[in-house]
Chains A and B, each alone.
With several copies, the nearest count.
Chain A
Amino acid sequence: MRTDHDDRRVAGYKTMALIRHFDKKAVNLQRTGRLGTYASCLGAEAIGTAAGLALTRDDYFVPYYRDHATLYLRGVPLHQILQYWGGDERGNAFPADSAARRDLPYCVPIATQLTQAAGIASAAKLRHEHAAVLATCGDGATSRGDFYEALNVAGVWQLPLVVLINNNQWAISVPRGLQTACASLADKAMAAGIPGVQVDGNDLDALIEVLDHALERARAGKGATLIEAISYRLSDHTTADDASRYRKASDLHRAWQNEPVRRLRDTLAEAGLWDAQRETDWQQQCERTVEEAIDTYLNLPPAPATDMLDYLYAELPAALRDQRSALAAVDQEVRHG
């Protein structure tokens, strides 16, 4: 008998496969000059997907820059994700009716999102919401004071916060072993007096279980949790990076043996929940979906130059009027010249 849980796993697999395809195409777009520097999520599909599945519409999500799967599951269209990486802030204007409506945008300065997530959690607590805040970061981010300050306040204020580390073993070229002498990143929770859990970041089922538990604990007012999901960055750091300069092909090769997408597909197939036909169909669907998203992305109208001033303050200050006029003139020229 097929259970709700099975449905969730199949849905999870579909998302993971879709995002893997999306990711490949995004890298291609960058290579052909149609996207900016892009942070691939290759190898992080299970983590991002589990986060998206575990969160409710009432929860808050505070992403870092590899969380494409989660944002997608929160209701951000793929073309909008491309729009962001294409150098356009409108990519962060997540749809008003989506679960992502109040989520923070991608965060570039490492770890700075974590204290903000604690702030959101304290707002939720103040308002007695039945909601949790999930914030993500990488292993490198755990070296920044922000990581610790956020966990510490979450501990002492008993905040409904879950911090999920994607420990993909590398911070650009710096291996996990040069970030910290702490035996496991989950142990860092100790310093804040909150529970810390390690989980296999290539195992969707395990991730969902751990996340469900931690988020429910948070929603129930029982406080914060730190989760370390152990994965491996199968891609270069970003499209601007060349990982072969600093890591061995053999390590990468080994990591591929354990990659999350195929692993889940095999598990689902064994359980009779997936098969070759469904795989072929779904891959075709992924291609269509991603092609459409790319099409939409490439045909988005350019933003006017005045946008750079129009959203800076709630109302344009008088002091900026002349500057806005200069930009409006530029827009005129672009349109007519």
Chain B
Amino acid sequence: MAELQTHSAHAVPMNLLEAVNRALARAMAEDDSVVLLGEDIGTNGGVFRATEGLKQQFGFRRVMDTPLAENLIAGLAVGMASQGLKPVAEIQFMGFIYAALEQILSHAARLRNRTRGRLSCPLVIRAPYGGGIHAPEHHSESTEALFAHIPGLRVVMPSSPARAHGLLLAAIQCPDPVIFLEPKRLYRLKRLPVVADGDPLPLDTCFTLRTGDDLTLISWGAAIHETLGAADQLAAEGINAEVIDVACLNPLDRDTLVASVSRTGRAVIVHEAPGHGGMGAEIAATLANQALLHLRAPVERVTGYDCPMPYFQLEPHYLPDEERIVAAAKRTLAY
């Protein structure tokens, strides 16, 4: 699905963080069953201020500061969702989500299936993810692949204020459990127009951000930023890259990806997470399987190294940057 920048009469400039905040406020205003829970989300408005003002607006009953326990947060959310509430839980940083994995994998993702539709689990778990803000250890993780491999879950990663807004609205309305990973590096990057009363965006399609015929650059979340930058650099040299924001890693819109690469014949996939077993592998494998005869070069992956995100001194060397993306694109073109 192609979505080029929407400009509308109702559009208001927002950064990604404000877009998240506005989507939460709107969802809560429109639906009483939407409740928020997490650490420091009340009076403090969240450590990034994503929930700023919401406790004041909707009261402490709907904006719950929990005790400090991520497994608890997830379990509470599962319980609430099983009875028709729509909990939106915040995990303060993605690096602290692992204690919640058992609840997510064994229960949230399975409750509907396990009860053959009698109960469901319409929760959203939001977490800021990714590096690039010189944060402490464990504050810069990109482990989306762990969640994308869990059947029954939806994994959504916006990369612009408009997509953060529209996808978060959709995630909250969605009757399935959703992991919503917010690129904290882009939180305050720039204000872009968002249609605050616009429709939710679909949860199972890629977004084509830029069209081109020479190769396809595929990415999601924060790395979209460098990917678009690389596309600009390539354009300056007369190379037209198509740029696709995958946005939803499970279920995955394979059709858009395969169609694009079948046309361009070349693909570079960019993500921040370690390459080994990352979601770039799934996409590369899919392209190589479904577009094999169209491929004019091997599908390349530009990713984090196969080590934990280093503490911030070495972080710049870890993150895929425009240079690495451009180099991979050129290798692909020269093949």
Contact = CB atoms under 8 A, between A and B. Distances in A.
A/B touching: CB–CB < 8 A = yes
Interface of A: 36-37, 60, 62, 86-90, 92-94, 96, 101-102, 104-105, 108-112, 114-124, 126, 140-141, 143-146, 149-150, 152-153, 156, 171-174, 178-180, 240-241, 245-246, 302-303, 305, 307-309, 311-314, 317-320, 323, 326-327, 330
A326 B62 CA distance: 44
B67 A143 contact: yes
B65 interface: yes
Contacts of A124: 83
Contacts of A94: 115, 118
A118 B317 CA distance: 36
Contacts of A309: 305-307
A303 B312 CA distance: 11
Contacts of B126: none
Interface stretch (B20-28, B37-45, B216-224): B37-45
A174 B116 contact: no
A37 B72 contact: no
Contacts of B62: 126
A323 B306 contact: yes
Nearest to B203: A317
Nearest to B81: A119
Contacts of A126: 35, 61-62, 85
B47 A172 contact: yes
Nearest to A139: B68
B95 A109 contact: yes
Interface stretch (B105-113, B191-199, B264-272): B105-113
Per CB-CB distance, the 8 closest pairs between chain A and chain B, nearest first, are: A119-B79, A115-B75, A173-B44, A143-B67, A87-B312, A319-B251, A317-B251, A116-B79
A312 B80 CA distance: 19
A62 B76 CA distance: 13
A319 B252 contact: yes
Interface stretch (B3-11, B134-142, B227-235, B239-247): B134-142
Nearest to A114: B75
A320 B72 contact: no
A308 to B, nearest CB: 5
A312 B151 contact: yes
A187 to B, nearest CB: 16
A246 B152 CA distance: 38
Nearest to A104: B82
7 contacts: A36-B134, A37-B136, A112-B75, A123-B84, A126-B62, A144-B71, A153-B69
A87 B134 contact: yes
B33 to A, nearest CB: 9
A186 B324 CA distance: 54
A214 B105 CA distance: 32
B312 A36 contact: yes
Given A37-B135, A116-B82, 9 more contacts: A89-B113, A122-B76, A122-B79, A124-B83, A145-B69, A150-B75, A173-B65, A303-B313, A312-B112
A102 to B, nearest CB: 6
B153 to A, nearest CB: 9
B300 interface: no
Contacts of A180: 67
Contact of A307 (B102, B103, B116): B116
A60 B80 CA distance: 12
A302 B87 CA distance: 35
B318 A174 contact: no
Contact of A104 (B96, B119, B317): B119
B314 interface: yes
Contact of B82 (A86, A120, A302): A120
A141 B252 CA distance: 38
Contacts of B80: 119-120, 122-123
Nearest to A103: B119
A312 B110 CA distance: 7
Contacts of B81: 119
A172 to B, nearest CB: 5
B238 interface: no
A308 B307 contact: yes
A123 B138 contact: no
Interface string B90-133: 00000110010011001100001111111110000000000000
